Amino acid sequence: MRVVLVAGPSGSGKSRIARLADCPSLNLDDFYYDADHPDLPHTLGIVDWDDPRSWDGSAALAAIQELVQNRVATVPRYDIAASAAVGTHRIECADSDCFIAEGVFALDMAGRCADAGIPVEPLYLDRPSIVVAVLRFIRDVREHRKPLIVLLRRGFALWRHDPALRRRALAAGFRPVTMREALRATQSGSVPAS
């Protein structure tokens, strides 16, 4: 069972890749803690949902292990607008040779998987940061994720941070790919060099 780990800035198209792929997917964002969880990190007076301390990485790793070993897992369903888990859903990989694990914390998941002996195919969606910023803002407004002022403040902070995120991903061994190359990886198991 191949694990295709898709990283990239918020709004870069990770969830779109998961929807269009030829294999099942695990949304790592479903493992965020609820807003009332104690000791959540804060930035600019609001919860910093881009800080790994806002996320249950151990539970996400357990779900990946379950999918690799048993090809099925029951995982939370997180509502970003409500900042809370709103139930669970089942992921099945019975007829697939791979699954995608995607989300803001895919970079952190790569190290956890390596420590657990789970090989991953690490991909980084490499798109121009201004395009990502616009797509992120449109998505967040459309989905009513947070109040508009929060989206503007957070969006500007993320846009400034995106180049550092890319450098961190490449240093961690993630391969920069286009949307088309990422989709090809879910079909053939190989990613052409950019």
pLDDT mean over 13-29: 89
Query: Is residue 60 classed exposed, middle or buried when 0-12, 13-18 and 19+ CB atoms within 10 A define those classes?
Result: buried
State the CB neighbour count (10 A cutoff) for residue 42: 11
- Asked whether the predicted pLDDT for residue 188 surpasses 70, the reply is no
pLDDT given at position 152:
79
**Maximum CA extent, the chain:** 46
Residues with Cβ within 8 Å of 88's Cβ and at least 6 positions away in sequence, in order, are 74, 75, 76, 77
CA distance 64 to 87: 19
Under the banding of pLDDT at 50, 70 and 90, the label for residue 189 is very low
Under the banding of pLDDT at 50, 70 and 90, the label for residue 102 is very high
**CA distances in angstroms from 17 to 36, 44, 86, 117, 183, listed in the order given:** 31, 31, 24, 25, 6
**Residue 62 and residue 55 in contact, taking contact as beta carbons nearer than 8 Å:** no
Our measurement of the distance from residue 108's CA atom to the centroid of its chain's CA atoms, rounded to an integer in Å, reads: 10
- DSSP assignment letter at 172: T
pLDDT given at position 193:
45
Q: For domain 2-188, which architecture applies?
A: 3-Layer(aba) Sandwich (3.40)
Return phi, psi of residue 94, to 5°: -55, -40
Q: Where are the domains of the chain?
A: 2-188
Q: What percent of the chain has pLDDT over 90?
A: 49
Residues, the chain:
194
